[in-house]
Amino acid sequence: MNLALFDLDNTLLAGDSDFEWAQFLISRGVVDREIQEAKNIEFYEHYKAGTLDIHAFLAFQLQPLTRHPRHELDAWHREYMAKHIRPIMSAPARERVKRHLDTGDLCAVVSATNSFVTGPIAREFGVPHLICTIPAVDVKNGAFSGAPTGTPSFQGGKIVRVEQWLESLGLWWGSFANTWFYSDSHNDLPLMQQVKTPIAVDPDEKLRTHASQMGWEIISLR
């Protein structure tokens, strides 16, 4: 048995699902464009530099979910999928996922973006497992609290979350003949260094340099 892990934003997607969700909310007048875009730029610069405070980012990212009932958010997400996400789900990305699924590999999307945004996207790709940041929810009405639960799935936290998931299945890294992780970002180097076959996908400059030095495969899914 083999294990294939996929980052989502700018890896399987030719764009960032969280950014696109923010743009969707801006287009609906749900959040203020000037404030949202300024904060997005600020957080993205820290992300690129590897200095992102994930807890501060999540407090900002999850806040809009708290102000609307779940049925309204779910309806918006269906529209968001049609207008913002399916257009950036490339044929090569779909084919790469299908290749692993067809050979019987255990497949999971591993993303820092929250499960409300990413869950339907992972299902659209046909990936049966999702490891991501989990927003706290009131189980009685589905309302979001605005806080994450557990370890955020970011940088070294991705290893923690993947290992917890594997343990829940009665598995560990040594259970697999081969392990892959596909990512575009140097922030994912901890998990890329954990697997046997790291693959840099349309990588940022830092990851491209590191991948070249290490002899890792570099591909494009655009």
Residue 120 CA: distances (Å) to CA of 57, 71, 130: 22, 15, 10
32 tagged catalytic:
no
DSSP state of 31: S
Q: Is 9 a catalytic residue?
A: yes
CB 168 within 8 A of CB 132: no
Q: How far apart are CA 166 and CA 169, in angstroms?
A: 5
> Alpha-carbon distance 129 to 196, whole Å?
20
Report helix, strand or coil for 144.
strand
User: What is the rounded distance in angstroms from the CA atom of residue 156 to the CA atom of residue 191?
Assistant: 7
Q: Which residues are catalytic?
A: 7, 9
